[in-house]
Structure 1
Amino acid sequence: IMWDPVFASSLAGYASFACWVIVFAPQLFINYKRKNGDGLSMTFLVIWLAGDLFNLAGVVMQDLLVTMFILALWYTVADMGLIWQVVHYRKINKRLREEVVVDTDTDDLQTCGSREERMSTETDPLIEQTGSISRFIESLSIEEKEISTTVLNLVGGSSVILLILGSCYAYYSVHLKTPKDPEDGMPEQMLSVFPQILGWLSAILYVGSRIPQIIKNTKKKSTDGLSLGMFMCAVMGNVFFTLSIFLRSTDRHYLLINLPWIIGSSGTLVFDFMVCTYV
């Protein structure tokens, strides 16, 4: 049986993709079940998303493996979804807390009113007018919040669709222009400065993104709201991702081009294991 490095690399790449497809599912389910996303550090998520965007741009411009492009696109879309969920539940919980405060104030007013039923009825019209104005202002506030939520959902959904379409078009365009190796028909990769800068920025952000989450766990002395499944899948996804690069080729020039992505995936393993020990 002849060893096919392209097939082996693709197999490892799709195994990594399978891990990353489900990597956000456990955390999304926990957030949905708890109706709360505060178990995750927003700083961690924002840094992770920034790393995703740099990663995606670098992969497209450097014309790396198609599995790397699919993964980069999935990272970005899934992370945007997770951030949306955290923001969404924070807005809902804030609204619920405000409604509880309003209900409490209303009960207090009703209690005061019942104690002073014997007061002069000359002030009744003024009280009714004030109450009507308060209810009107409250209804306007609720409508504004609902509109704000709708706009947020529309902007988020449109951004995801534009990101997917734009990224696919850009990758396809770059891939067609890249000269092919006459031996195996694969693209001849050239070391480009700007994509490499994006790759290294992505690697730094990926590795650094875990630090806020570890700090948050240490301060809280708790991992409530975190999914062990999420980080275990992330570990396996990074392992297969790194393997997909090495299985494709061990040529020095090839590894040099892919070095930022190797560091970005393998470098996070240490921090992911640290997070897993807390969960």
Structure 2
Amino acid sequence: MPCRCEQPGYSHIIAGIFDQCMTETKEIVSFVFGWLSILSWVVALYPQIRLNFLLRKAEALSPFFLLCWFLGDIFNATSCLVLDQLFVQKFLGIFWLSTDTILNISHFYFVCTKKKYTSAATHFRVLEIFVYVVIAGLVINNVVWAGFYYDSELSFNEAAYDICKKEAVIPKNTARYWIGTILAYATIPMFCFSRPTQIYKNWKRKSTEGLSTGLFIATSSGNINQLISMFVNSQKQKYLIEKIPYIIAAAIPAICDIIVLVQIKIYKKAGGYEPIREENDLHTDNNQLESQ
């Protein structure tokens, strides 16, 4: 349901789709980069989940990496609920926790079952690409259509809509505020400490076989866009000092994500990938040896 803002010159599209009031250009640009960050995080875990199911193995990921990430999203989702943040923030917190759960289940299932043979068919098939394109097209089409519709509605019939609701303000002298804030800050070390363990495991294995490039492209994109969003929003010293924990929480993982991407490139070029072979190919080799 769209809403209207009390401030003049606000963005009808943002108010209509996202129920938020944005007036200044820098606010809107910051908002766009913020959502680019969110979209990157929405799809981030899917490439690794897909790869795990195709390979039937999950040894490439560090268990400590998964644990820290999972705890970080538990803290994040809980803090959103405790602090009664906007619906979108609550939904995303629960969504990310759900995808974490799927990734963790697939990881420990395949580690425990230890399938002997794996599939080499990890490339994207035409039908699969077609499905992704259709889904992306539908999402973009709906957002564009909704944007034009709400812009028109709020331009010609603004009085028919309610004032946009503001994010709930929890009094700072309450236990609820402090519990929610502590949980929010607890996510920072979880996300920062998760990456070095993955970097160390890659270095120790001298291989990144089974590690999805798409996962770290998406996470680095999410962190970089989040940094851009914060710096575009304001360059005032007071604002930046207040945002230092969040800047650290985005900058350190972004740097580590780029290091992992460099490792993937180096180890792939150096032959760090062991060829993954079909079960039928292995049987063929065995028969050839027996015949000799």
TM-score calculated relative to the size of structure 2: 0.56
Structure-1 residue corresponding to 2:124: none
RMSD between aligned alpha carbons?
A: 3.2
Distance 1:8 1:64 in 2: 22
Distance 2:166 2:235 in 1: 15
Given the superposition, is the C-alpha separation of residues 274 and 239 from structure 1 closer, same or farther in structure 2, using an over 3 Å criterion? same
1:238 and 2:223 are equivalent in the alignment = yes
Q: Tell me, what secondary structure is at the counterpart of 2:111?
A: helix
Given the superposition, is the C-alpha separation of residues 260 and 54 from structure 1 closer, same or farther in structure 2, using an over 3 Å criterion? farther
Distance 2:69 2:167 in 1: 29
Unaligned ranges ≥5, structure 1: 98-182
Distance 1:14 1:184 in 2: 19
Given the superposition, is the C-alpha separation of residues 194 and 250 from structure 1 closer, same or farther in structure 2, using an over 3 Å criterion? farther
After TM superposition, the structure 1 stretch with the greater mean CA deviation from structure 2, 205-214 or 56-65, is 56-65
Structure-1 residue corresponding to 2:253: 268
* Letter of the structure 1 residue corresponding to residue 62 of structure 2: S
Given the superposition, is the C-alpha separation of residues 88 and 200 from structure 1 closer, same or farther in structure 2, using an over 3 Å criterion? same
2:209 corresponds, among 224, 231, 236, to 224
1:89 and 2:110 are equivalent in the alignment = yes
1:8 corresponds, among 29, 36, 50, to 29
Q: Percent identity, please.
A: 27
- Where relative contact order (Cα < 8 A, 6+ residues apart) is larger, the structure is 1
Structure-2 residue corresponding to 1:179: none
Structure-2 residue corresponding to 1:207: 192
| CA-to-aligned-CA distance 1:232-261 (integer Å, 9 cap, x gap) | 110111122333444455566665665433
Given the superposition, is the C-alpha separation of residues 260 and 77 from structure 1 closer, same or farther in structure 2, using an over 3 Å criterion? farther
Distance 1:209 1:54 in 2: 15
* Letter of the structure 1 residue corresponding to residue 253 of structure 2: T
Equivalent residues of 2:83, 2:168 under 8 A apart:
no
Equivalent residues of 1:217, 1:223 under 8 A apart:
yes
1:51 and 2:36 are equivalent in the alignment = no
Decide which structure has the larger Cα Rg and report it: 1
Q: How many residues align?
A: 193
1:28 corresponds, among 46, 49, 55, to 49
Given the superposition, is the C-alpha separation of residues 21 and 51 from structure 1 closer, same or farther in structure 2, using an over 3 Å criterion? same
Within-5 A mapping of 1:8-157: 8-62=29-83, 68-93=89-114
| CA-to-aligned-CA distance 1:180-217 (integer Å, 9 cap, x gap) | xxx99644757644333222221011100112111111
TM-score calculated relative to the size of structure 1: 0.58
Equivalent residues of 1:13, 1:240 under 8 A apart:
yes
Given the superposition, is the C-alpha separation of residues 65 and 244 from structure 1 closer, same or farther in structure 2, using an over 3 Å criterion? farther
Q: Which has the higher helix share?
A: 1
| CA-to-aligned-CA distance 1:131-168 (integer Å, 9 cap, x gap) | xxxxxxxxxxxxxxxxxxxxxxxxxxxxxxxxxxxxxx
